[in-house]
Structure 1
Amino acid sequence: MNLRYSMNRISITTILLGIGLYCTQAMAGDWPVFGGNWDHQRHAEFSQITPANVAQLGTAWEFDTGVSSSFQATPIVVEGVMYVSLPFNHVVALHADSGKLIWRYTHDRLKNRKMCCGPANRGVAVSGGKVFMGTVDSRLLALNARTGQKLWDIDVTKGEQGVQEDAASLGSQFDTQGGKLEVSGASGAGINMAPMVFDGKVIVGITGVGYGLHLDSPDPDAPLGSVVGIAGNYGRRGFMAAYDVDTGALAWKFDTVPDKGWEGKFTQTTLDGVPLPRNIEQEKAAAANYPDAWQFGGGSAWSTPAIDRENGILYFGTGNPSPQMEGSSRPGDNLYTASLVALDVRTGQLKWHYQQVPHDMWGYDVASPPVLFSTTVKGKPVKAVGQAGKTGWFYVHNRITGELLFKSEAFVPQNNMFTLPTEQGNVIYPGVIGGSNWSPVSVDEQRRMVFIAGIHWPVKYQLHELKAKGNKPALKYSSMSPIEEGDKYGLLSAIHLDTGKLLWQHKVKAPLIGGVLSTQTGLVFSGEGSGEFFALDANTGKRVWQQGNPAGVNAPPISYEVEGKQYLAVAVGGNKLFGFKQGQTIKAWALTTK
C-alpha cells in the first residue's frame, strides 16, 4: 500500500511539474523557509527519529554538485522537491527522497565585478512557483521553480555610492613575509543571505560593505589570516530591501547607516553596561572633520531576517562599521552597525534597534540569524527575539519594544574583551571570529532550550606602523590574527530560554561553524570541520550518534518528511576560512531497517 501510494504521488508530482501547475506551496513535511518555520527555530516536530533509534540512521542518498568550495546553504524542501543554492550561485532542484536531479541553474557572474566575500551562499527562498536567490555579485534572481528558467534578474546595487578609496591599493606597503602572504580583500557588495518572502515581496540585504584588508596565505586550503584595519574613506553603507516578487521592482529600502545621526549618543559603555575604551571628548572634537563618514559606514546585512507575521515586524543583524577595526575616521557610535534591527516589514521603517557594540573596533558583527520564541519575565509570558552574539552572549529582547530582557551566561570563554590593540599584541577572545559566527541557532520551546554552535579561538590584536615607502607616507594600522598554535575548539551549548543559564556544553576539537537542528523527540544535530555529522541527547548533551564524511560538515542541517519517511540533510562542503576540507556533496540520512 505505501509503495503504491508513493508511486502514485510521484506520478502526480511529475505530471504537475510537466504542465506547470506545481505551485510550491508548503505542506506539513516540508522545510519551506530558511529557519524551518517563520520563527527560524530550526526545530523539527517529526517523531520518527528518536534517541532510541538514532543509531539506525544510515545514508539515504548523496548528490554530487560538481562544485567544490565552502558550502553554507540551507536546503529548502517544498512538496517533495529540494532546492539548494551551490557555491558561486548555481542552483539545483532535486527529488527530496532520492537526490535525483530535476533541473540545474548555472549562474553567469558579472565579469567586471569581483566577489567581496567568497563564493558561499546561504540559501534560496521558494514561494508561489518561484525560487529567489541573492548572488555574490549583488544581484537578485527569480527562477521558475518547475524548470529553473530565469524569470527576472536585477542588480540591487546599481546606482549606489561605491568605494572612493580602495584599501587594497595600499597593499604594496605591507610586509608579506617574502611573498608568503597575499594582500586581499577590499570594500564591495554581494549577497550571502537566503532571502525571505512576505506579502508579495522578496526581502534581502547586502554584505561586504565593511570589508577591509586580509593578509592571507596563497595556499587555497589555508585558514583565515590577519584581518587589517586602516583609517580612511573606503567602504559603503549596507541596506535591507524588499522587491516585488513578480517584477523585481523596489518596494522599500532601509539603509543600515543613516545619513543623519549616525554618530548616536557617544556612549561610554555598551547598552548593557560594559565599559568601552573610548575617548568621547576626542571623538566629539574630531566629528566635524569627518562629516561624510556615514557614506562609507558599513553595516553589512549578513543574516536572513526573521519575521513576526502577527505584528508585522522584521528582525535582522548588521555588521561592523567601516573602516573595520579602525575608529579614528568614524567618530561616534556608528549607528546602526553591530546591531539587532527591527523594521516594519511592509514599509521598511525603523521600529527599534539595539546596538550590541557601539563604535565597534573588534569585528563584533551581529551575524547569527535572530530567532523568535516566548520567554517568561516575572512569571508572565513575553514574545521575545533572541540573537547569539559574536561576543559570546545570547541576547534576549522584547520583540515589540526592543527592551533587553536579559543576556545569557557566556557560552564561550571571554578574556580581554573590549580592550585596544598594543604594539606587543593583546590576546583577546572571543574576537573577530566569535563567539557565535553566522551559524544559526535552534530553539526547543517545549524543553525551554536554545542550542548554540560556539567558537573558542583566541586572536592577537596588534598595532603596527609601516615606514614611508617611495611617495607613500608612513601608515599606522591594527590587525587581528587568529592564533594557530593556541588552544581552539568548539562548544555546542544549551541555554535556558527563561533564565539565560547554561544547562550543558558539548566540546569538540575544532571551532563550530555551520548551525544546529533540534527535534521534538529530543535530539540535537550539528556537524564538525573534521567531517563528523553528529547527534546529541537534548537533555544531557551526550553524543548518541555520529557518521564521518570526506569533507567538513559546516552548513546548517535540516529535517523533512516525504511519504511519511523522515530525512535529515546537510551540505558537506567544508569551509575555507576555517581551514576545513572542502567538498561538493549534499547528503541525506534516514532510518535503516535491520
Structure 2
Amino acid sequence: MRHARFTSLFVALFTALVATTPYAQVQSADWPMFGGDWLHQRHVHQSAITPANVDRLVEAWSVDTGIDASFQATPIVVDGIMVVSLPFNHVMAMNAATGEVLWKYTHERLKNRPLCCGPANRGVAVHGGKVFMGTVDSRLIALDFRTGQTMWDVDVTGGEQGVQEEVSALQGQMTTEPGKREVSGASGAGINMAPMVYGGNVIVGITGVGYGLHLDSPDPNAPLGAVVGIAGNYGRRGFMAAFDEQTGALVWKFDTVPDQGWEGRFVTHTPDGVKLPRNIAQEKTQLAQHAQAWKYGGGSSWSTPAIDRKNGLLYFGTGNPSPQMEGSSRPGDNLYTTSLVALDANTGELKWFYQQVPHDLWGYDVASPPVLFTARVNGVPIPAVGQAGKTGWFYAFNRLNGKLLYKSEPFVPQHNMFALPTREGTVIYPGVVGGSNWSPVSVDEKRRLVYIAGMHWPVKYQLHELPPKDGKPGLKYSSMSPMEDGSKYGLLTAIHIDTGKKVWQHKVKDPMIGGVLSTDSGLVFSGEGSGELFALDARNGQRLWEAKNDAGVNAPAVSYTVNGEQYIAVAIGGNKLFGYTQGHTVRAWKLR
C-alpha cells in the first residue's frame, strides 16, 4: 500500500515536471496556441484521419456566430474547450466535441477610435486560466477561461493612434463616377495578431501603423480597388511589447522603428543581392528635411511571434514603412521595417534583424508568421527560423545569429519586382497583395517540407503628381491597384526545408489567403475563397477531399482530438478585402 502511494506520488510529480519542461516531447490532443505548438509548425501527430480515409470526413457540428465579416481566427482548443475570437473582438467558447456554446464575450469598442484595418482578429492565447486577446481598438484584454468575464483591460497605445490619411487630399483623383470610392482603411493602430504567453508575460504587437489609404472598388462585391501611399507625415511607428499576465502592466517594449539610426546605411541592394532602384545621393540630401520621419515610421507587427524557449529568443515580422509605397518623405533604409526581427524574449533587447527589402516601396510586409524547425545544410543540423515572404520567396535563417541559409525558389510568378511606379502604370507581381500574405505556413519535418499558401495577383503600380489647387500645395502619391483581368490565381506549394527547392504545387482558382495545416499521416489542409476546405496528399499535392461551404474559407484550419476522435475545424467567414463571400460560421468535421 505504501509502495502504491509512493508510485502515485512519483507519477504525479513526473507528470508535473514534464508539463513544465521546455521542449517536452508530449503529444497533446489539443490545439493550445496559435501555431499549434511553440515552433508554430501547424503540424499535428494525430493520425486517425489519413489519405486512405479522408473521403469519409463529414460535418461533426457547425456554430453560427451571428457576425458576417472577414473571419481570420485560429481556434484554440484546451481541455476539450474551443475558444475563438470573432470579428470586432467578440469571443465564443464552445464544447470542442459538440459545438455547444459555453459562453460569449461581447466587446465594447472605444467609439473615438476608428478601425484602421478592418474588423478581423487572428486569435486568442489561453494560459493560466485566462484568455488573452488583442483588439482592433488597440487594447489587450484578459478573460476568465471558464466564464468569459473580463479580468483586466489595458490600453496598449494610450490613444496614440497616429495620423490617418484622408481621401480628400487626393483632390478627387481616385474617384469614379457616379460616386466616390469608399475608404475601407487608413493608417492607425490596432491589434490583429493572436498574443503569445511566455515567462509570465503576454506578448503582442500593434498593426496598421503604415497601412496606407485603402479604397474599395466601385463594385461593392469586388475586391479592394486600390492601395494609396501619400507623401507626408502619416501613421506612427509600431512596437512589440510584453505585459504581465496577472496585471496587464507593461514589462518591456521594442519599437519597430528606432529614433536613432532609423535611416540605416543607405544600401543599394537587398541583403540577398537584388539591386534596388534608389537614388542614394538624393535621399541623403533629403534626410535633414525629414529628420523626424521615424515618428511616423510604420513597421506593423501583423502576425504572432514564434518563441525559441531553449534559447530565449522571439521572432516576428515587421510591416512596410510609412507612408506606404511613397518613399520621398522617408529617406534611408527605414529600419527595422519589412524585416524579420529576433529579440531576447525576456527583455525585448534586439538580437538581430534581416531587412528583406530596405526602403520598401512595394508593400512587401513580412506578414506571414515565422516558423521554427531544424534545417540540414550539407548534412549539418542547424536551428532555423523560416518565413514566407510577400516577395514570393521562402527565407530560412540560422535562428541564433540571423545568417541567411537560403532563399527558396519562387513559389509564385515574379515580374518587374522592385520596379518603380510610372504615370501610365507598371504591372508587377507579386505586389502588395501577392506572395504569401498573413497566411501561416505548415512544416512537416519528417517529410522535410514546408507548405505555403500563395497568391498570384498582378497589380498596376502608378505614380500620381497633383498640381497646387485652392491654395493647397501639390501632392505626390502612389497607388497599387489589383488587376481584374482574369490573371490571378492561388498556389499551395511544398518546398524542401533543407534546400529551398520546390517539390510540388497545387493550383486553385483564386489567390490563397488563410493558412495551412499538415498531419503526420500525410495530409495538407487549406481553404479557398470560393468556399472549399480541401485536403491534399502530402506526397504530391493531389486533391483527395473537399467540403463546400457558403462563405470563403480564409482562416487556418486546426486539428484536435476529443474522446479518441480527431476533428478538423476552421472559421468560415470569407474576406472582404479580397472579394471573398463573408459568412458567420465555425465548423468541424470528423470521420463517419
Name the counterpart of 1:347: 347
Cα distance change of structure 1 residues 87 and 164 upon mapping to structure 2, 3 Å threshold: closer
Counterpart check, 1:404 vs 2:404: yes
Q: Is the 8 A contact 1:189 1:207 kept in 2?
A: yes
Name the counterpart of 1:496: 496
Q: How does 1:51-450 map to 2 (within 5 A)?
A: 51-158=51-158, 160=160, 162-164=161-163, 166-178=165-177, 179-217=179-217, 219-450=219-450
Alpha-carbon shift at residue 497 of structure 1 (Å): 0.5
Distance 1:101 1:296 in 2: 43
Counterpart of 1:566 in structure 2: which amino acid?
Answer: Q
Distance 1:345 1:61 in 2: 39
Name the counterpart of 1:43: 43
Alpha-carbon shift at residue 234 of structure 1 (Å): 1.3
Counterpart of 2:226 in structure 1: which amino acid?
Answer: S
Counterpart of 2:114 in structure 1: which amino acid?
Answer: K
Alpha-carbon shift at residue 288 of structure 1 (Å): 1.1
Distance 1:144 1:291 in 2: 46
Name the counterpart of 1:517: 517
Identity of aligned pairs, percent?
A: 72
Distance 1:166 1:362 in 2: 18
Distance 2:94 2:525 in 1: 23
Distance 1:338 1:209 in 2: 13
Q: Is the 8 A contact 2:165 2:213 kept in 1?
A: no
Alpha-carbon shift at residue 585 of structure 1 (Å): 0.3
Name the counterpart of 2:7: none
Alpha-carbon shift at residue 220 of structure 1 (Å): 4.3
Q: How does 1:571-582 map to 2 (within 5 A)?
A: 571-582=571-582
Counterpart of 1:199 in structure 2: which amino acid?
Answer: G
Q: Is the 8 A contact 2:69 2:575 kept in 1?
A: yes
Which stretch has the larger CA shift, 532-541 or 170-179?
Answer: 170-179
Counterpart of 2:155 in structure 1: which amino acid?
Answer: D
Q: Is the 8 A contact 2:550 2:583 kept in 1?
A: yes
Name the counterpart of 1:570: 570
TM-score (norm 1): 0.94
Counterpart of 1:232 in structure 2: which amino acid?
Answer: G
Which stretch has the larger CA shift, 107-116 or 467-476?
Answer: 467-476
Q: Is the 8 A contact 1:416 1:429 kept in 2?
A: yes
Counterpart of 2:54 in structure 1: which amino acid?
Answer: V
3-state SS of paired residue (2:578): coil
Name the counterpart of 1:583: 583
Distance 2:261 2:406 in 1: 27
Q: Is the 8 A contact 1:195 1:202 kept in 2?
A: yes
Distance 2:483 2:165 in 1: 28
Q: Is the 8 A contact 1:75 1:123 kept in 2?
A: yes
The runs of 5 or more residues in structure 1 that have no matched partner are: 1-25
Alpha-carbon shift at residue 539 of structure 1 (Å): 0.4
Distance 1:204 1:133 in 2: 9
Distance 2:168 2:310 in 1: 49
Name the counterpart of 1:462: 462
Distance 2:437 2:263 in 1: 26
Distance 2:485 2:465 in 1: 25
Cα distance change of structure 1 residues 144 and 259 upon mapping to structure 2, 3 Å threshold: same
Q: Is the 8 A contact 2:218 2:225 kept in 1?
A: no
Alpha-carbon shift at residue 230 of structure 1 (Å): 1.2
Q: Is the 8 A contact 2:92 2:104 kept in 1?
A: yes
Counterpart of 1:145 in structure 2: which amino acid?
Answer: F
3-state SS of paired residue (1:225): strand
Q: Is the 8 A contact 1:389 1:434 kept in 2?
A: no
Distance 1:172 1:109 in 2: 32
Counterpart of 1:177 in structure 2: which amino acid?
Answer: T
Distance 2:273 2:563 in 1: 52
Cα distance change of structure 1 residues 220 and 145 upon mapping to structure 2, 3 Å threshold: farther
Q: Is the 8 A contact 1:411 1:454 kept in 2?
A: yes
Q: Is the 8 A contact 2:434 2:458 kept in 1?
A: no
Cα distance change of structure 1 residues 165 and 41 upon mapping to structure 2, 3 Å threshold: closer
Which stretch has the larger CA shift, 470-479 or 324-333?
Answer: 470-479
- 1:120-152 residue CA offsets vs partner (Å, 9 max, x unmatched): 000000000000000000000000001000000
TM-score (norm 2): 0.94
Counterpart of 1:176 in structure 2: which amino acid?
Answer: T
3-state SS of paired residue (2:576): coil
Name the counterpart of 2:532: 532
Alpha-carbon shift at residue 183 of structure 1 (Å): 4.0
Which stretch has the larger CA shift, 177-186 or 70-79?
Answer: 177-186
Alpha-carbon shift at residue 474 of structure 1 (Å): 2.6
Alpha-carbon shift at residue 475 of structure 1 (Å): 1.9
Name the counterpart of 1:473: 473
3-state SS of paired residue (2:577): coil
Alpha-carbon shift at residue 434 of structure 1 (Å): 1.9
3-state SS of paired residue (1:414): coil
3-state SS of paired residue (1:55): helix
3-state SS of paired residue (2:187): coil
Cα distance change of structure 1 residues 235 and 322 upon mapping to structure 2, 3 Å threshold: same
Distance 1:186 1:518 in 2: 35
Cα distance change of structure 1 residues 112 and 455 upon mapping to structure 2, 3 Å threshold: same
Counterpart of 2:162 in structure 1: which amino acid?
Answer: V
Cα distance change of structure 1 residues 203 and 565 upon mapping to structure 2, 3 Å threshold: same
3-state SS of paired residue (2:287): helix
Alpha-carbon shift at residue 389 of structure 1 (Å): 0.1
Alpha-carbon shift at residue 511 of structure 1 (Å): 0.4
Distance 2:578 2:127 in 1: 33
Coordinate RMSD, CA, aligned: 1.3
Q: Is the 8 A contact 1:167 1:187 kept in 2?
A: no
- 1:138-175 residue CA offsets vs partner (Å, 9 max, x unmatched): 00000000100000001100064x53574445144434
- 1:552-579 residue CA offsets vs partner (Å, 9 max, x unmatched): 0000000000011100000010010110
Alpha-carbon shift at residue 182 of structure 1 (Å): 2.5
The number of aligned residues is 566
- 1:9-48 residue CA offsets vs partner (Å, 9 max, x unmatched): xxxxxxxxxxxxxxxxx98210000000000000010010
3-state SS of paired residue (1:577): helix
Distance 2:51 2:159 in 1: 54
The runs of 5 or more residues in structure 2 that have no matched partner are: 1-25
Name the counterpart of 1:8: none
Cα distance change of structure 1 residues 220 and 105 upon mapping to structure 2, 3 Å threshold: farther
3-state SS of paired residue (1:285): helix
3-state SS of paired residue (1:354): strand
Cα distance change of structure 1 residues 82 and 333 upon mapping to structure 2, 3 Å threshold: same
3-state SS of paired residue (2:243): strand
Name the counterpart of 1:7: none
Alpha-carbon shift at residue 221 of structure 1 (Å): 3.3
Name the counterpart of 1:13: none
3-state SS of paired residue (1:88): helix
Distance 1:346 1:169 in 2: 45
Distance 1:220 1:194 in 2: 29
Cα distance change of structure 1 residues 76 and 259 upon mapping to structure 2, 3 Å threshold: same
Distance 1:184 1:580 in 2: 15
